[in-house]
């Protein structure tokens, strides 16, 4: 396989900058375009390393995609623009690899149709950290034996969506593997939301604090025992091996891949 031409959408964000740096250093990948709503016209290299690279920050448009001819576009933007970005990429024959959170089940169905119509592939992953993928896998397995489970997800205070995509997908995976539904009981909530949000009969609690990056724990309860499964990302470098894995695999695939675990031999 030759070098894969990659564009990054959201290139000036914290995750976007890390993705750009990773692609620039990764053998077999070539960064050909950087898109963002901010810093348009600036040299990406000045933003990343204070030295010019000759890659200008541009708006994500069909014209610019056709000009740079990337094969893959990595998107770490916001829930407000991600669906439009995916649609533009697919219309231009570019395969999206998406780490932007806030994508709903309705959105996934829409992307699946668009991918099928374009005969391309797309990867949407709530979390690109390999440890987080294993945490979700272990949680799904544990759900066969512990019907009671609650999720606590903790992220930095700039994250705008809650619950996280990782927490929502974890709850879905737990629900699929459960042998029995947890028993319902009457609860007296002295404050609205005291028990968190409910997804697939799994309570999810969201924490947003300065100093955090991305963390999640799943607590299972059974007679006389509990089991805690936890994953912590202390640096955004934890997501990069998963991003690279997705970029290198999506050029060989067709259809929508939802979740990085589908690219691993788990």
Longest dimension (CA), the chain: 63
- What letters, b where the CB count within 10 A reaches 16 and e where it falls short, cover 181-212? eeeeeeeeeeeeeeebbebbebbbbbeeeeeb
Annotated catalytic residue, options 155, 169, 215, 231: 155
3-state DSSP assignment of residue 162: coil
User: Is 68 annotated in the active site?
Assistant: no
**Which residue has tokens 């997800």?**
153
**Backbone torsion region of residue 88, taken as left when φ is above 0, otherwise alpha when ψ lies between -120 and 50, otherwise beta:** alpha
Which residue(s) pair with 106 in the sheet? none
Annotated catalytic residue, options 56, 156, 159, 248: 159
- What letters, b where the CB count within 10 A reaches 16 and e where it falls short, cover 224-238? eeeeebebbbeebeb
Q: Which residues are catalytic?
A: 155, 159
């Amino acid at each position: 396989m030759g070098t894969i031409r990659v564009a990054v959408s959201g290139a000036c964000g914290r995750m976007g900058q890390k993705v750009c740096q990773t692609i620039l250093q990764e053998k077999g990948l070539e960064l050909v375009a950087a898109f963002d709503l901010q810093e348009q016209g600036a040299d990406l290299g000045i933003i990343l390393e204070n030295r010019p690279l000759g890659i200008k920050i541009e708006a994500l448009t069909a014209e610019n995609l056709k000009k740079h001819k990337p094969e893959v576009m990595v998107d770490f933007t916001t829930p407000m623009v991600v669906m439009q970005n995916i649609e533009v990429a697919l219309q231009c024959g570019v395969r999206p690899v998406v780490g932007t959170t806030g994508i709903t089940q309705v959105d996934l169905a829409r992307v699946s149709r668009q991918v099928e119509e374009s005969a391309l592939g797309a990867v949407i992953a709530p979390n690109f950290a390999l440890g987080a993928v294993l945490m979700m896998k272990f949680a799904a397995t544990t759900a066969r034996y512990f019907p009671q489970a609650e999720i606590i997800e903790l992220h930095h205070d700039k994250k705008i969506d809650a619950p996280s995509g990782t927490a929502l997908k974890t709850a879905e995976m737990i629900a699929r593997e459960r042998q029995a539904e947890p028993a319902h009981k009457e609860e007296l909530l002295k404050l609205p939301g005291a028990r968190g949000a409910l997804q697939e009969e799994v309570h999810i609690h969201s924490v947003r604090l300065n100093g955090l990056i991305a963390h999640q724990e799943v607590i299972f309860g059974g007679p006389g025992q509990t089991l805690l499964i936890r994953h912590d990302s202390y640096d955004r470098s934890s997501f990069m091996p998963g991003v690279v894995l997705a970029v290198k695999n999506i050029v060989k695939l067709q259809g929508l891949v939802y979740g990085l675990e589908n690219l691993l031999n788990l």
